[in-house]
A and B are shown apart, each in its own frame.
Chain A
Amino acid sequence: MITLIDYGAGNLASLEGALDRLGLDHLRAERPDQAAPQGTLVLPGVGHFEAAAKALRKAGWWHELPQMVAGGRHLLGICLGLQLLAEGSEEAPRSSGLGLLPGLVRRLGPGVKVPHMGWSRVRARLAHPALPDPKGGWLYFVHSYALEAGPETNYVAEHGRSFAAVQGRGRVLGFQPHPEKSGAFGLLLLERALLWTGEGPRGPREVACN
């Protein structure tokens, strides 16, 4: 069972639609005690880093998420969700990130239009068990800040400079693009990531178990 963290900052409807198309079970949780007892946690997010961090602190997630990951849960971050997993962001210099992924989030530009809005190609930099070779596949991005590409970055994309499009560490995996908005390739990535975290499609697997 996938738990979608619902803290008022993210397009949950599209994410749920994508999970339905993949045949994966999911629920929304506003607080940690509403999370499914096991399974993948998904941290979506759109908007301002500081506002999101504040909402997550207020709901108790900020404190709980690192412990849930340490206790064996997988965590996927999407868009601002990935940025919140990093060490910190230029968007909120006085606040820190969750620190589950190494690196800092910095503003895009100068010299390019910001926000970076639209479809960009991603390239593989470091193999990850969940991720296929993207072979120049296109993903949909909407963001003004980005995690600096580093040695642990799995996919990179370019907008003025290279930045981390997908980065993982241990049971944590962050996507800067919106896989749920990125057509067939995005859906494939989401499926691969969730299979890797141990989620499986409903019908066929149950039939197989019987």
Chain B
Amino acid sequence: MPAKRVIPCLDVKDGRVVKGVNFKQLRDIGHPVELARRYDLEGADELVFLDISATLEARKTRLDWVREAARQLGIPFTVGGGVRDLEDIRNLLRAGADKVAINSAAVANPPFLEEAAGIFGRQCIVLAADVARDPALGWRVFTHAGKLRTELGALPWLERAVDLGAGEILLTSIDRDGTQDGFDTELLMAAARLPVPVIASGGAGTEAHFQEALECGADAVLAATLFHEGRLPIPRLKSFLAEHGVLVRL
């Protein structure tokens, strides 16, 4: 068994790291590569950059900071946000991203996953899914940064995505994102049956929340604000997890 991974997430808008609550209220926190370097040195196992820039111009310039991240980081990283076609994937991988996260484009056109995995290998194709619970229908998939509800049930979609070629799932609970009330452990338990690694995202507030998510079957845990604001330093989190019997890289 590989170690459970701790992954800081950097939401990047127009070349700056920002963070919102429930996908809203953005605040500027710093330069992506500077922050990433800090996390690398603190013992983060991996990084996720989600580019939430709206303009085509900003999407193009992101390759500059992706290149710089590849040069400066000694740990792997994933880049997502607005990945629409094979050219986007090729550019990000060539710039030095280890994995690419695909969200809305996979929902709109599921065979895109298959095509991408066929060309680049499934190990670099991460399916990002934003999920919220509907009282009547259960977990539903949302797209477009959590704004658009789709007709897809979360678990059938994840299973299909894995069949098509996703090598990893980045599973965000919209209900919990930014609340610091803990991860959606029921969702994680259901997703743990998938044959590929699952990254739990949304809701981290305390060390115990991370432990809970990992014990519910998540392979990795992701958070942003908690790390960015320095409220939970990564070394402290990893020592806590190790003391509680979770296998982590120290």
- Determine whether B26 belongs to the interface, using a CB cutoff of 8 Å to chain A: no
Q: Are A159 and B249 in touch, CB under 8 angstroms? A: no
Does residue A106 face the partner (Cβ distance < 8 Å to B)?
Answer: no
**Which segment, of B48-56, B90-98, B129-137, B228-236, faces chain A?**
B90-98
From DSSP, what is the main secondary structure of chain A's interface residues? Answer: mixed
CB of B241 to closest CB in A, whole Å: 13
Tally of A-B Cβ pairs under 8 angstroms: 95
Name the residue among A113, A116, A186 with the largest chain B CB count within 10 angstroms: A113
Q: How far is the CB of B93 from chain A (nearest CB, A)?
A: 7
In the complex, which residues 143-160 of chain A have their Cβ closer than 8 Å to any Cβ of chain B? 143-144, 158-159
Indicate if the CB atoms of B75 and A181 lie closer than 8 Å.
yes
Known: A14-B96, A182-B74, A183-B75. A115 touches B122 (CB 8 A): yes
Task: From known contacts A47-B120, A117-B168, infer whether A138 and B3 are also in contact, taking CB-CB under 8 Å.
Answer: yes
Nearest-CB distance from B95 to chain A (Å)? 6
Asked if B111 CB lies within 8 Å of chain A CBs, one says no
Which residues from B are CB-within-8-Å of A112? 1
Check A113 against B219 for contact (C-beta < 8 Å).
yes
Complex contacts, A187 vs chain B, CB 8 Å: 74
A140 and B76 contact, CB distance less than 8 A: yes
Judge if A178 is at the interface, Cβ distance under 8 Å.
yes
- B123 contacts which of A119, A143, A159 (Cβ < 8 Å)? A143
Tell me if B67 counts as interface (CB < 8 A to partner A). yes
The number of residues on chain A lying at the interface, defined by a beta carbon within 8 Å of a beta carbon of chain B, is: 36
Nearest chain A CB to B247 CB, angstrom units: 9
Most central of A16, A112, A117 by chain B CB within 10 Å: A117
Are the CB atoms of B70 and A141 closer together than 8 Å? no
Q: Is the CB of B184 closer than 8 A to any CB of chain A?
A: no
- Residues 210-250 of chain B: 1 if any A CB is under 8 Å from the residue's CB, otherwise 0? 00000000011000000000000000000000000000010
Q: A100 CB to closest chain B CB, in angstroms? A: 23
- How many chain B residues touch A (CB < 8 A): the figure is 33
Bound-complex Cα distance A159 to B5 (A): 16
Q: Is A127 an interface residue (CB 8 A)?
A: no
Nearest Cβ distance between residue A137 and chain B, in whole angstroms? 9
Let me know if B146 is at the binding interface, CB within 8 A. no
B167 touches A115 (CB 8 A): yes
Q: CA of A118 to CA of B96 in the docked complex: distance in angstroms?
A: 18
> Per a CB cutoff under 8 Å, which of A13, A46, A118, A142 touches B71?
A13
Contacts of A119 in B (CB 8 A): 2-3, 5, 45, 249
- B74 close to A181 (CB less than 8 A): yes
B121 at the A/B interface (Cβ < 8 Å)?
Answer: yes
> B167's closest neighbor in chain A, by CB?
A115
User: Which of A142, A178, A183 is close to B40, meaning CB atoms less than 8 Å apart?
Assistant: A183
Query: Which B residues lie at the A interface, using CB under 8 A?
Result: 1-3, 5, 40, 45-46, 67, 70-76, 93-96, 98, 120-124, 167-168, 195-197, 219-220, 249
Q: A20-B71, A142-B124 are in contact. List 7 more A-B contacts (CB 8 A).
A: A115-B122, A116-B2, A118-B5, A118-B46, A120-B2, A144-B123, A182-B75
Sort A-B residue pairs by CB-CB distance and give the 8 closest, nearest first: A13-B96, A118-B2, A17-B71, A13-B70, A47-B121, A138-B249, A119-B3, A119-B249
